[in-house]
Structure 1
Amino acid sequence: MSEPTGTDQLAAEIPPELHKQLQEFRRHLWRAKMVEAILAGFFGLLLSFLVVFALDRLMPTPGWLRLVILIAGTSLFAFFAPYWIHRWVLKNRRENQLARLISQKFPRLGDRLLGVLELSGQSESAASLSPALRAAATRDVAAAAAKRDFSEALPSNRNRTGLIVVSALILLAAGAFVTLPKAGLNALQRWLMPLSDTPRYTLTKFDSKLPNQIVVPLGEPFELEVGLAKDSEKKPANARARLSGQSWLESTRDENRYRFEFSGQQKESSISLSAGDARARVKVIPTLPPTLESVDAMIALPEYLELPDRQIDVRSGTLAILQGSSVSLHANASRDLASGQLEVRDLPSAAQPAEEESAPEPAQPVKMSANAKGRRASYPALDIAENIREVRLSWVDKLGLAGTETFRLRLEPLTDEAPTVYIQGAQRQIAILPEETLEFEVTAQDDYGLKTFGLEWQGEFTKPSPDSPAKGEMELAPGGPAESQLVAPAAFSPVVFGIEPQKLTLRAFTEDYLPDRERSYSQPIEIYILTRDEHAQMLKDRFDRAIGELEDAAREEQNNLDENKRIERLSDEDLQAPENQDRLEKQRAAEQENVEKMEKLNEEMEKLFQDALRNGEIEPETMKKLSETGQQLKELSEEDLPEVEEQLKKAQDQRSTPEQSKKDLKEATEKQEEALKKMRETLEKANEANRDFEAATFVNRLKRAANDHDGIANAMTGSIDKLIGLRTTEIDPVEERLLGELALQQKRTASDVRWIREDLGHFYSRTEKEIHKELLEKMEASKIDEGLEFNRERLARNLTFRSIVFSKKWAEQLREWAKLLEGEQENGEGGGGGGGGGSMEDQDFEFMLKVMRMIQSEQDIRARTRAIEQLRRSSQPKPFQRPQFP
């Protein structure tokens, strides 16, 4: 027996309930769309007949127009109905077609149903397609489909609307035949046989509402509308009118009314009317039409902004208003008004779709009446939504004259944009000590008011610590509904907030009044709050770079001196040669470039000295050498090297004699030799200071390594109750991550200790001090490298107690070595000059250092006072710790 194929196979393989659901869906679809096609056909026929009937009441409808109307009416039956049936019936017969239609309403279910139908229609072998898997998928989709009502996925059903419209048209046609049977039969004949000569049926008598006089705009064309009475036995198709001796005008009846248009008049006259045997006379009084003298808009902003209503004077054009607002227009006219009307229409905000079927219908205008009182007309308020609107104003005065002007206003909605905030006057990355104060300016802007405005910070430890990183915020200035821009100076001092050394991300934030909108933030500033040891190491790195730049400058100056000596050996005549003058110009330019480098280097050394002064823990002898180095750099950049450049410039002066140029060049080389000698002396002084710096950093580096081990021990102690006695497989993931971080920190600390030992060995080879040799021997004898590696393994294996013990042990050992070096520094040459020791010059310098540090401390206190005062003014409660001033 052959296996079923095609639709039979598909129907056999899907569950009967699902198959039944699809058949029921198809039946409803076909029935609805076929009814729509039939209703559309009847709609076209009835509407075209009623159009002919109506036109015949207004004018003798020509045959070609009736033929066009008949063809347009019957085309819905002839063309639209077959197309509609083909689209919805013939193209939706198969289950997969129905599934695609269902997916438009239920995308997920439709896609799954389509997939199951495609699987059910496949005929691959069992090796490539599992029947059990296909059956399971089919059952799953069938179960999901059973929970859905497929009738909800049917396209919009217009049958009810169509039936109502067709019924209304039928009632209109029946009413026409009942009320005017002769006219109805006549229109039916003229509609069925548009090219025939069937005459039009007519009626007659002027309406009793015809006025005795009318007021028309002065000098402007106007029209007169004349109606026929209901009981008129004759209703002529045309009527005639004549204005004060002018030619007769004819008008075709439109819904039992005649309309006549006349040219503008400058003086009073009268109109004679004639329709059949009816006669009438109307007096015409020309008058200036009313004009608008001003239009103002009262804008009520959304309640959340807490702003008062705004009144602005508007002109015909465009008015941009915030979404959620409402606007009411008020017009002042030149004469008392009887009425006014506002016409508003939604405008498309984007290009219309290319496909005709998907293009939206033009929005119908909405008309609203105004409240007229005296010369002022108040138009109804309009809500501002997302769409653009066009508003047109019209007005009629007490005389019945309408304004001839066109007042149009385009209302464009604005969105409440998010506020912006940014920080000025601060580097994006900066390293400071805790007592330093970072000062900058913060600016926030918004289009409709700022609610709050301040600073927010989040800390992050760069190594494991039992403490929590810093976190907090502070308001800089109070906001308000009317505050569209806020500018405030900010002073941020870590010690004021009790923030210990760590990495801190500082951002400015602001909020506007839009509900549920998140804060807006500035670009972050990364602040590295350093310990004094870390600060000293940073200064050492900067000093290393400065010494390297000084060495480069000295080499370049030596090269310049060699070239100047070569040029000096030339004869007086050769020195004036153009090519040698070019050589002198290059030498002068090279000297100027070296002067600029020395100026930058001098600025860096001044800043380095100020930062070293702030550190407070750098030895006075080192500070003195830094000061002397900076002073010599200042002399080189401001006096010595500029003098060399000036002499080189004189040597190439075209007004000088060859002898004078030779003399100037010689003086330049002599001054350059002196400057180069001074640069070397400065470099030697800088290297001496750097060696002292480096010796001091060994103490700081050892202390920092000891602190790292204390941090590891403290972190383990804080989690000991969650770790002790557990296997590595039983540890909570959070604690497991902590062990991994601590092991990594132990590895980094071990690497730091190895670098300390290597740097100490190099330093000893240069200085040959016994204390450094003794410390090297102690470090090698302790086998600290192996000990730290064993401790890392203990951490990884969760040997909690032993890890704590050995971490503290190595911390004590590192501090002992640091004290050994500190004792040497106190007894050595850089001891500090206390208690009358040292030369008078050293004592004077130390006194100057103390004064400078007092001044610096006073400046820091003032800056911190500004930060504290700023915190006091903040209205929001913030986490605060009493500052500990150094």
Structure 2
Amino acid sequence: MPESLSSQLRGFQRKLRAIESATAVAIAFCIMAAAFTFLYISDRAWDTPVILRFILFLCGIVPVIYLVFYTIYHVFMKRRDFKTLSILVQKHHKRLGDSLLGVVELSENNELSENVSKELCSAAIANIAERSRSMDFCEAINRRALRRFMAWSLAMAVLITCIVIFTKPAFSNALSRWLNPFSSVERFTFVKINGIPKQMTVPHGEEFEIRCSLDKASSIKPLSIKYRCGQEPARLAALGQDVTVLKISGQTKPVNLKVWSGDFSRNVRINPVHRPVLLSLEADVKLPEYTGRAPLKTKVSGKTFNVLEGSRYSFEGKADRELKSAELADSSGKTASLKVKGATFSTDVFNVAFSEKNHIIWKDTNDLKPLHDFEYSVLPEKDQEPFTECPKLPLYSAMLADETLIIQASAEDDYGVSEIGASYSSADPRNEMKIYATGTMKLAKGGPEKTKVDAEFMFCPRLMRIPEQSLVTICSTATDYFPDRKEVLSRQYKIYVLSLQEHAKLLEEELDSIMGKFEDLIWREEENLEKNKNISKLPENEMKKDETGEKISEQKEGEKANSEDLEKLSEKGMKLLEEALRNKEFPAKSIKEWSKMLSTAKELSQKDMKNVEKKLDNALNEDKRREEMEKAVKEQQELLEKLKELMKKMDDSLNNLTMENFVTRLNKEAENERNIASKLGDIMKTSVGMEQNLLPEKIKNDITEQKIKQERIKKAVKNIQDNILGFFSRTRIKKYQDVSEEMEKEKIQNKLEETVGTIARNQTAKGISNTQEIAKKLEKWAKDLGQKGNEKSSSGEGEGEMKPIDPEIMVGLLRLIQQEQELREQTRTLDENKAVLPDYGEKATGLSEKQMGMRKELGDLKEKAAEFQKLAAMMAAAQKAMTDAGAFLFKPQTDQETIAAETEVIELLTSSFQEASEMSGEGGAGMMSLMQMMMQGQGTKPGGFKGSISSNAANTKTGGPDFKGQMSEKKSDRTAGKNAKALPEEYKDAIESYFRRVNSVDRNNNR
């Protein structure tokens, strides 16, 4: 190929390569600029998503990469040969036809056929080369694509240049987001608002706010911001001073919040969450060493945290979710960070000191705080004294000297009771400074962890050598573990020890009350009888009226009420007789008489009255009304006769009982006078010849004591004298008039007053003479009253009949059964508490002495029953069992073997009583009823048995509402024994309450 033609083709080739490369560059620039510009424009409208940014990135980069590789490969690596170039040239220079291609082929073909001349070929080539010399092969290149894409490139360049010039930050931001589509670079906006997060965790259901402001770098400053939460209507918030607050209503479920202004737009994900709740707050408290307690955990609730002085403490709290932080702020505002682990936080260890209005604040991982901080104050507590009491013992009460009371003691202390005990003292009730005896006892050990300790102890005045008519003060005691603290005493419980005479007088008054109610019942029964008579006499036409039936029904109910009242009266009377068994000075004959009368009353209520009630019920039938009413009237008349006869017997028996009471009281005061005479004799021996002002202090005190005793006798005799006169006024029995007139004639009160002065002046000889003279007169009057003259018994012994058994034997056996039951319960209690009673042996010995004393009483009864051989033999067997029981107690031994021996005694005594009752015939029926009622109380604990002090005697200082109600009920006009001896008022009420609880103890047992 000629050099000129070859050179022309090579030039064409270079020019074509340049044009194609420029076109590729222009296309690439356009593509990239278009992708970037689209992102730029998109970012102005919204926050272009990452996926779209990635697509735009691919649209801009992938074609460019393709063009680069395509251009390099096709333009530079895979070069066009002369044939290809000649074809391109021929398309433009059509004059050449195919000659240029033929020249290229001839020049490249080294082997020609034989019939082709080389010279002709060379000439043809030269000819074509010459023709081509005038042609510009570069005109064959197509420049339209280059010009088009160059125009687009220029336009894009101008656009981008403008963007760079006018919105350089936006350009840089868009370029960065385009080149790195997965970056977290936020889009550039001309409106910039600060304070709006991408998501928020807010309190559940509570209104919340977003405080936002216009950024200083904001190119555009709008006047307001729009926002919409979920499906709620859009709201507008004005940008005053470039600041505003978006107020959003409470949300209960996740929702999107859209905020926009100008080109600024943001979606905020709102997640409502309940505020963090404090599930528990515990204090780890280390108490002072003296308490002996291990560290303890205490739940803290409320606004105060009370903790013992000298302790150390720390708090540990637990929330309902994981926490981010927690802090403690005191009242001064000083804060301290707390240790946080998961959902728990803990404080440092603090010494106990007063502080108030401390705050614990916690924050969860969502930066939510509780609605209210936990506020508390630390209040150091002093270790208070232990509290001790006898919970079931009334403040004022009374008991017999032979009774044994099981007293419950209780002690409480917040930091452990060390020991519980009891103390007692007995004194003169009119002068509590005069102490007869004192004692203390340790009941039970406690422990650091025992905040309450209960114990029981037995109290028996007789065993403790406490005399009758003494005032006993009992206190429970307690100690705790506080260093050097003295023993703490409970409040004082006062027990008045009744004398047998006081007890008998009260029994008489209670029986008198029963008789008064019995009299009222008879009056009501008479009234019912009159109404029944009137109904039975009605004409036939009125008899069958409905109104008559209603009247009969009312009468039936009235009879039923009377029956129930009579049965209750008999039961109440039996309980009083059971109480009377405790008193050896209460006449056995009266117990037997009253038991028989009360049994009869109960039988009348259960049979005769029920028969009348049944007849009245039958009378409700119109056909048999008159006949049944007549039968009812007849039976009611017979019933009334029996009731009146029973009332007369009660009155006679009560008169005899009153007489016995007068005799006992007069003899008792006579005995007291002789005791004073004996004491004056002792004083005279040591003070003879001394002047009164020179007497030793001890003798002066003895004289004063005897003077006080004489004054008491004077008051007691005055009461007896008034009672005798009052009794005569009611009964008109002559011997009471004689004794009353003789006492007035002898001017006994003046004599007693004179004796008081004589003793006060230490005229001992005259005092002895006076007291002995007064004692003789009192004994004489007691003897006069004791003579027969007011007995109105309707029965007597007949010739040839079996000699009836002495009532003293039957009553004595009942008393022994009752005492043995109580002794058995006391033995059980003593055995249960022997581990904590230091005087266990002494108490067991006391019970042994009591058992042997009962054995002696049984021996006396056996002598009275000597003529009844079988009964005497049974009593002897009971005596032997008593000896065994007494021996066990003396060891001391209070276990099951001893209790079994005491049970055998009860069984043998019961058999003896049953034998005596059978021998007594009808007279023993009432006594058997009394025994059966008494045996029902075998299982009651000491302190709850009939007549013993129980919780029913509470508030005895005022008698209690129940007691006052009983005393206000109608009584008969008996006056004997109604004036108690001069005692402090609260003890009069206490003595009266003694019988109130006797009457109510059965209700307590039933409960």
Range of TM-score over shorter length: 0.5 to 0.7
Aligned positions of 1:117-132 closer than 5 A: none
Q: Is the 8 A contact 1:703 1:814 kept in 2?
A: no
Q: Which among 637, 641, 665 is matched to residue 673 of structure 1?
A: 637
Which of 310, 327, 331 lines up with 2:296 in the alignment? 310
Q: Following the alignment from structure 1 to structure 2, what is the Cα–Cα distance between the partners of residues 375 and 824?
A: 96
Which residue in the other structure is 1:389 paired with?
Answer: 357
Match of 2:960 in 1: none
CA distance in 2, matches of 1:829, 1:334: 91
Task: Confirm or deny: 8 A CA contact 1:392 1:407 kept in the other structure.
Answer: no
- When residues 591 and 342 of structure 1 are mapped into structure 2, their CA distance, relative to the original with a 3 A threshold, is same
CA gap of 1:586–1:764, structure 2 versus 1, over 3 A, is closer
Q: Which moved more, 1:384-393 or 1:774-783?
A: 774-783
Partner of 1:626: 594
Alpha-carbon spacing, 1:628–1:379, altered in 2? closer, same or farther (3 Å): same
The yes-or-no answer on 1:321 pairing with 2:286 is no
- The TM-score, its normalising length taken from structure 1, stands at 0.54
Displacement of 1:785 after TM fit?
Answer: 3.9
Paired residue for 2:823? 861
2:753 — aligned with what? 789
Q: Per-residue deviation at 1:474?
A: 4.6
Q: CA deviation at 1:591?
A: 2.9
Alignment partner of 1:532 is 2:500: yes
Whether the 8 Å CA contact 1:501–1:531 is kept in 2: the answer is yes
Matched, 1:687 2:673: no
The one-letter amino acid paired with 2:501 is: D
How far apart are residue 748 of structure 1 and its match? Answer: 0.8
2:409–2:476 contact (8 Å) kept in structure 1: no
Which residue of the partner structure matches residue 776 of structure 2? Answer: 813
Counterpart of 2:376 in structure 1 is 411
SS state of the match for residue 842, structure 1?
coil
| TM superposition shift of 1:682 | 1.4
Distance in 2 (alpha carbons) for counterparts of 1:379 and 1:581: 85
- 8 A contact 2:592–2:807 mirrored in 1: yes
* Cα displacement (A) at 1:738: 5.4
Change (3 A) 1:565 1:472: farther
| Residues 1:297 and 2:265 are matched in the alignment | no
| Change beyond 3 A, Cα 1:508–1:639 | farther
CA distance in 2, matches of 1:669, 1:494: 56
Percentage of pairs with the same residue:
22
* Secondary structure of the corresponding residue to residue 330 of structure 2: strand
- Quote the offset at 1:606 in angstroms: 0.2
2:501–2:665 CA contact under 8 A, matched in 1: yes
- Superposed, 1:21-170 pairs within 5 Å as none
- Please, which of 627, 636, 644 is the counterpart of residue 663 of structure 1? 627
Deviation at residue 480 of structure 1 after TM alignment = 3.6
SS at match of 2:805: helix
- In structure 2, the partner of 1:573 is 541
- Equivalent pair of 1:296/1:314 in contact (CA under 8 Å): yes
Describe how 1:552-563 pairs up with structure 2 within 5 A: 552-563=520-531
Q: How does 1:167-246 map to 2 (within 5 A)?
A: 219=199
Counterpart AA for 1:308? A
**Structure 1 residues 314, 799: closer, same or farther in 2, change over 3 A?**
closer
Q: Does 1:597 align with 2:565?
A: yes
Equivalent-residue separation in structure 1 for 2:321 and 2:622 (angstroms): 96
Identify the residue that residue 461 of structure 2 maps to in structure 1.
494
| 1:733-812 → structure 2 map (5 Å cutoff) | 741-742=708-709, 744-752=711-719, 754-755=721-722, 758=725, 766=733, 784-795=748-759, 797-802=760-765, 804-806=767-769, 808-810=771-773, 812=775
Question: Could you tell me which amino acid in structure 2 is paired with residue 695 of structure 1?
Answer: M
Structure 2 counterpart of 1:706: 670
Structure 2: runs of 5+ lacking an equivalent: 1-195, 203-212, 223-244, 247-272, 854-1007
Which position in structure 2 is the counterpart of 1:849?
811
- Cα distance in 1, alignment partners of residues 582 and 589 from structure 2: 16
Contact kept? 2:424, 2:440, Cα under 8 Å: yes
User: Residue 435 of structure 2 aligns to a residue in which SS?
Assistant: coil
Q: Shift of the alpha carbon at 1:508?
A: 6.0
Deviation at 1:809, TM superposition (A): 1.2
Deviation at 1:602, TM superposition (A): 0.8
Return the offset for 1:697.
1.8
1:726 aligns with 2:692: yes
Name the aligned partner's letter for residue 852 of structure 1. L
Q: Distance in 1 between the 2:563 and 2:321 partners?
A: 83
Q: 1:292 and 1:694 mapped to 2: Cα distance?
A: 80
Query: Relative contact order, CA 8 A, sep 6+: which one is greater?
Result: 2
Deviation string for 1:655-677 (max 9, x for gaps)? Answer: x115x122222222222112211
Structure 2 equivalent of residue 141 of structure 1: none
Letter in 1 for 2:820: E
Do the aligned residues in 2 keep the contact of 1:698 with 1:818 (CA within 8 Å)?
A: no
Q: Distance in 1 between matches of 2:595 and 2:582?
A: 14
| 2:648 aligned counterpart, secondary structure | helix
Structure 1 488/801 Cα, relative in aligned 2: closer, same or farther at 3 Å? same
Cα separation, partners in 2 of 1:323 and 1:841, compared to 1, 3 Å: farther
Once residues 478 and 459 of structure 1 are traced to their aligned partners in structure 2, the CA distance between those partners, rounded to angstroms, is: 26
The equivalent of 2:263 in structure 1 is none
Q: TM-score, normalised by structure 2?
A: 0.48
- 2:509 paired residue number: 541
Q: What is the distance in 1 between the residues matched to 2:420 and 2:692?
A: 49
In the aligned structure 1, how far is the partner of 2:649 from the partner of 2:321?
A: 96
Whether contact under 8 Å (1:318, 1:412) holds in the other structure is: yes
**Paired AA for residue 574 in structure 2:** E
Distance 1:427 1:817 in 2: 42
Q: What is the CA-CA distance between 1:395 and the residue it aligns to?
A: 8.2
- Greater CA deviation, 433-442 or 505-514? 505-514
* RMSD of aligned residue pairs (Cα, Å): 5.9
Whether 1:468 aligns to 2:431 is no
Cα distance in structure 1, aligned partners of 2:702 and 2:496: 27
- Tell me which residue corresponds to 1:149: none
Residue 282 of structure 2 aligns with an amino acid whose one-letter code is A
Match of 1:343 among 309, 318, 329: 329
Instruction: Give, in whole Å, the separation in 2 of the partners of 1:731 and 1:314.
Output: 65
* CA apart distance, 1:649: 3.9
Quote the Cα distance in structure 1 between the aligned partners of 2:593 and 2:655.
Answer: 11
Deviation at 1:705, TM superposition (A): 0.9
**Distance in structure 2 (CA, Å) of the matches to 1:449 and 1:730:** 51
Alignment partners' CA distance in 1, 2:509 and 2:357: 66
Give the C-alpha shift of residue 693 in structure 1. 1.7
2: CA distance between counterparts of 1:465 and 1:715?
Answer: 22
Moved more, 413-422 or 751-760: 413-422
- Note closer, same or farther for the CA distance 1:785–1:375 as it changes in structure 2 (3 Å cut): closer
Contact 1:712–1:807 (Cα < 8 Å) also in 2: no
Question: Residues 428 and 634 (structure 1 numbering): CA distance in 2 closer, same or farther, change over 3 Å?
Answer: farther
1:611/1:374 Cα in 2 relative to 1: closer, same or farther (>3 Å)?
closer
Question: What does residue 279 of structure 1 align with?
Answer: none
Shift of 1:431: 4.2
1-structure distance, mates of 2:626, 2:324:
104
Of the two, which has the highest radius of gyration?
A: 2
Please list the CA deviations of residues 62-116 of structure 1 after superposition, one character each: whole Å capped at 9, or x if unmatched: xxxxxxxxxxxxxxxxxxxxxxxxxxxxxxxxxxxxxxxxxxxxxxxxxxxxxxx
What letter is aligned with 2:375?
A: R
- SS of corresponding position for 2:538: coil
Aligned residues: 595
Structure-1 residue corresponding to 2:404: 437
Determine if contact 1:426/1:439 at 8 Å carries over to the other structure: no
Partner of 2:426: 459
3-state SS, counterpart of residue 615 of structure 1: coil
- Residue 559 to residue 240, structure 1, CA distance change in 2 (3 Å): closer
- What is the Cα deviation at residue 631 of structure 1? 0.9
Secondary structure of 2:376 counterpart: strand
